[in-house]
Amino acid sequence: MLRIRRFEERCVELYSASKIRGFVHLYIGEEAVAVGVNAALSPEDAVVSTYREHGHALARGLPPEAIMAEMYGRTTGCSGGRGGSMHLFDVSRRFYGGSAIVAGGLPPAAGLALADRLRGLPRVTCCFFGDGAFAEGEFHETANLAALWDLPLLLVCENNLYAMGTALAREHAQTDLAMRAASYGMPAWAVDGMDVEAVAQAARRAVEGIRAGTGPHFLELRTYRFRAHSMYDPDRYRDKAEIERWKSRDPIGRLTERMRDDGEPVDEELARIERRIADEIDHAVDAAERAPEEPVEDLLRHVTSARAGEVNRQ
Amino acid sequence: MSTAGTQETTTYREALREALREAMRSDDRVFLMGEDVGRYGGCFGVSLGLLEEFGPDRVRDTPLSESAFVGAGIGAALAGMRPIVEIMTVNFSLLALDQILNNAATLLHMSGGQLPVPLVIRMTTGAGRQLAAQHSHSLESFYAHIPGIRVLAPATLEDARHMLAPALADPDPVVIFEHGSLYNASGPLAPQAASVDLDHAAVRRPGDAVSLITYGGSLPKMFAAADELAADGVDAEVVDLRTLRPLDAGTVAASVARTHRAVVVDEAWRTGSVAAELSARLAEESFYELDAPVERVCGAEVPIPYARRLEEAALPQTAGIVAAAHRAVG
Ligand SMILES: Cc1ncc(C[n+]2csc(CCOP(=O)(O)OP(=O)(O)O)c2C)c(N)n1
């Protein structure tokens, strides 16, 4: 969680310095979701993510330097500089990352799960998406298909109470999302998304159920983003008191408190982890600064596989 | 409002907002709906302040449900309202393409003329801000392909300000494309500009050596190219299509009849683009007027990349337009 937090804080600085560009969506406040859910997954499982995916990618084990280089638009980035912050991919880690079309990742996630099912592989596909995405037809069509075909799919709804500037109650006639998901005939429950242990426990239970062959499961994680929707957002639609209230439930702070109460030597440990993470991020920034840019002659690479590498003459 | 005769400086964004405000003030059947148009003020700030002025019934925030709220716009239009639906970007409009094509554009015909759909849909298009492929495409030609709708691309402050009223007066569906790189464009706006003629392209700058033809976000690049060409002694005419469907091939043909050379610029992919259609029209209708092959400067055939210099390389740029014009002039 700390790695995600510090990585993104550095992103803010780099964005302000115009080192990274485009739309950048921060995960700060929601770290317990990515970390807790990933703890329940194995390396063979697949993860499908959204445009708010730095946390998912880091929790999945993508190296910070590959992500940072991507945001710098460098060849060493995990998507070769073509994707940027919103489109992180790493097939070697089965991270089918960043879709910026809200709910766009849901139907393909069902397909990944279907392939595993058809081949009898005991794997799970985990798809992250927001409360906003829950309003799209794509979600409902996917939930129906997954339940109908008993697909090994974990649907993880990050309910941070807002879709850009639109509050949950302004986008959903019925705001109990877990209940609505349950109507498709799949186990569904809501979890405190600010408590990493509760998230991990719920995710483990769901993943065990899926591996046991009981079809798709749905988790609604009640969480909150401490920052604006994206670096462009003036955040005029939220009440400062509300933000402060949620900050008092900071998942990192809560975990630290709990460990301290249990008598663990958290403070020395934390200082050590902070130093290690700071080094790691310094290194990632440094490497990105020095990494090469893709030559313009390679613009037309990766448009079709057969022609990869060939320069298309227009 | 300024006093008559003086010119007021405004931005493209403000011009669009003023048009929306005027439309809602003058006709209570008009309402605006879309994602984050109200409390947020519009994701590009176009509708900022309108919620306060007109209230949540008329400036209506919708859930992320493009197909549902565009379809609802169609229904409301059938029932006598005059909805303006905003879709954040053309990339997301594909979730509503079924409603636009199979319902909005088709109902009049299928019903034997009983069901006109007086709906206006606005959306952002285009690249240039390092937003990567899923936020950067120019899909105007997808819409220009569809009979039954009108497709507009305001490129100037005047068109941004004055296209909405005739679009609302049109009994059929109108799709308006706003290029993302134009929102901050600013300049003087004539206080009493003439109402925009949605049937005709506009000659924005007369010239006799070559016709530079474009629409939307590429128009500023055209002016820059025309300036450079003028410095080289080539007097270029700049034609702004402004309406992509129905395409005003007549104004383009008349321009080419004067200059005998054509360069078509389109940010979209060359294959199947508006530029492709226009080139075909020139081949069909102006073949004997042409002293050189039609030149096209289009977006590279690649999903738009994030990295800055790759993105720049993927889009038409002034230097490429100037080079194409020189090739045409020979
Ligand atoms: C189909 C589509 N419509 C609209 C958008 C613009 N948009 C990007 S993120 C977003 C809000 C999504 O909210 P939610 O699903 O709750 O996820 P969160 O950002 O809160 O993590 C919107 C409206 C988009 N990217 N795709």
Q: Across residues A10-17, what is the average pLDDT?
A: 97
Interface test with B, best of A19, A20, A70, A82 (most B CBs within 10 A): A82
Query: Looking at residue B8, what is its pLDDT?
Result: 80
Residue B302 belongs to domain with CATH number: 3.40.50.920
* Same domain flag for B218 and B179: no
B154 and B238 in a common domain: no
What type of residue sits at position B281? R
Q: Which amino acid is at B136?
A: S
Sign of the dihedral defined by the CA atoms of residues A40, A134, A9, A86, in that order: positive
For residue A313, how far is its CA from the centre of ligand 1 (angstroms)? 37
Q: What's B110's domain CATH number?
A: 3.40.50.970
**Secondary structure of chain B in HEC code, one letter for each residue:** CCCCCCCEEEEHHHHHHHHHHHHHHHCCCEEEEECCCCCCCCCCCCCCCHHHHHCCCCEEECCCCHHHHHHHHHHHHHCCCEEEEEEEEHHHHHHHHHHHHHHHCCHHHHCCCCCCCCCEEEEEECCCCCCCHHHCCCCHHHHHCCCCCEEECCCCHHHHHHCHHHHHHCCCCEEEEEEHHHCCCEEEECCCCCCCCCCCCEEEECCCCEEEEECHHHHHHHHHHHHHHHHCCCCEEEEECCEEECCCHHHHHHHHHHHCCEEEEEEEECCCCHHHHHHHHHHHHCHHHCCCCCEEEEECCCCCCCCHHHHHHHCCCHHHHHHHHHHHHC
Query: What tokens does B313 get?
Result: 């390389």
Measured by CA distance, the residue closest to atom 5 of ligand 1 is A102
- Judge contact between B321 and B225, C-beta under 8 A: yes
Domain end, chosen from B187, B222, B249, is at B187
- Please give the distance, rounded to the nearest whole angstrom, from the Cα atom of residue A165 to the centre of ligand 1: 10
Q: Do both B152 and B280 map to the same domain? A: no
Q: Which residues of A touch B131 (CB under 8 A)?
A: 22-23, 84, 86
Q: Are A55 and A132 in contact (CB under 8 A)?
A: no
Contacts of A236 in chain B (CB under 8 A): 39-41
Return the residue whose CA atom lies nearest to atom 7 of ligand 1.
A102
Q: Does B145 participate in catalysis according to the annotation?
A: no
Smallest Cβ–Cβ distance between A164 and the set B40, B92, B134 belongs to: B40
Where in chain A does DSSP place strands (E)? Answer: 46-49, 95-98, 125-130, 153-159, 162-163, 166-167, 188-192, 217-222
Per the CB < 8 Å rule, is B307 touching A138?
Answer: no
| Domains identified in chain B, total number | 2
Atom of ligand 1 nearest to the CA of B92: 1
Alpha-carbon gap, residue B87 to B66, rounded angstroms: 7
Q: Is the CB of A53 under 6 A from ligand 1?
A: no
* Angle ∠(A62,A68,A71) on CA atoms, nearest 5: 115
Task: Tell me whether residues A163 and B91 touch, CB distance under 8 A.
Answer: no
Nearest atom (ligand 1) to Cα of A129 = 15
Count, residues in chain A: 314
Please indicate, yes or no, whether residues B24 and B128 belong to a single structural domain of this protein.
Answer: yes
Q: Is the CB of A158 under 6 A from ligand 1?
A: yes
- 10-residue mean pLDDT profile of chain B (330 residues): values are 62 98 98 97 96 98 97 96 98 98 96 96 97 97 98 97 97 98 94 84 98 98 98 98 97 98 98 97 97 98 98 98 97
User: Does B68 lie in the same domain as B161?
Assistant: yes
Of the residues B35, B66, B237, B277, which is catalytic? B66
Do B216 and B168 touch, CB atoms closer than 8 A? Answer: no
- Going by pLDDT thresholds of 50, 70 and 90, the confidence category of residue A307 is low
**Residue count (chain B):** 330
Ligand 1 test: best mutation among B33, B88, B91, B95, most atoms within 8 Å of CB?
B88
**How far, in whole angstroms, is CA A25 from its chain's centroid?**
11
Of B14, B35, B86, B135, which residue is the catalytic one?
B135
pLDDT for the residue numbered B2: 40
- Is B285 one of the annotated active-site residues of the chain? no
Residue B19 lies in a domain: yes
Average pLDDT score over chain B: 96
Mean pLDDT of A87-91: 97
What amino acid is encoded at A134 in this protein? F
Domain that holds residue B302: 200-327
Which residue in this structure is represented by tokens 């055209």?
B222
B194 located within any domain: no
Q: Residue B149: its pLDDT value, please?
A: 98
Say yes or no: B264 and B178 in one domain: no
For A65-81, the pLDDT digits (tens) are 999 999 999 999 999 99
Residues A240-277: tens digit of each pLDDT: 999 999 999 999 999 999 999 998 889 999 999 999 99
Ligand 1 centroid distance, CA of A139 (Å): 13
Atom nearest to A158 CA in ligand 1:
21
Could you tell me if residue B256 is inside a domain? yes
* Torsion angle in degrees (nearest 10) through CA of A302, B279, B256, B298: -10
| Assigned domain for B1 exists | no
- Give yes or no for a contact between A99 and A51, defined as CB atoms under 8 angstroms apart: yes
* Cβ neighbours of residue A286 closer than 8 Å, sequence gap 6 or more: none
pLDDT of residue B191: 78
CB A65 within 8 A of CB A269: no
If asked whether residues B102 and B168 sit together in one domain, one would say: yes
Cβ of B35 below 6 Å from ligand 1: yes
Dihedral over alpha carbons B39, B45, B46, B49 (to 10 degrees): 40
Q: State the distance from the centre of ligand 1 to the C-alpha of A133, rounded, in angstroms.
A: 7
**What does the block give as tokens for A253?**
């702070």
Mark whether B145 and B208 lie in a shared domain: no
Residue B105 resides in a domain: yes
What confidence tens digit (pLDDT) does each residue in B252-308 have? 999 999 999 999 999 999 999 999 999 999 999 999 999 999 999 999 999 999 999
Residues of A in contact with B300 (CB under 8 A): 299-300, 314
**Which of B64, B95, B301 is facing A163, going by the closest CB pair?**
B64
For B206, the token pair is 């007369």
Give yes or no: residues B152 and B101 share one domain: yes
Confidence of residue A313 (pLDDT cuts 50, 70, 90): very low
% of chain A at pLDDT higher than 90: 92
The CB density around residue A299, as the number of other CB atoms within 10 Å, is: 23
Structure pTM?
0.93
Query: Best mutation site among B40, B90, B306, B311 for testing chain A: the one with the most A CBs within 10 Å?
Result: B306
Q: Which among B63, B270, B306 has the least Cβ separation from residue A81?
A: B306
Q: Percent of chain A scored above 70 by pLDDT?
A: 97
The mean predicted confidence, pLDDT, of chain A is 95
Give the domain-ending residue among B156, B187, B218. Answer: B187
Q: How far is the CA of A196 from the centre of ligand 1 (A)?
A: 24
Any domain includes B195: no
Which residue of chain A has the CA closest to B308? Answer: A73
Residue B71 in tokens = 């379809």
Task: Measure the CA–CA gap between A59 and A39, rounded to whole angstroms.
Answer: 8
Binned at pLDDT 50, 70 and 90, residue A305 comes out as confident
Tell which atom from ligand 1 comes closest to the C-alpha of A102: 26
- Residues B173, B213, single domain; the answer is no
Domain boundary among B139, B158, B187: B187
Same domain, B174 and B223: no
Q: Which pLDDT value is given to residue A312? A: 43
Q: What is the mean pLDDT of residues A87-112?
A: 96
A156: which DSSP letter?
Answer: E
Q: Are residues B23 and B119 in the same domain?
A: yes
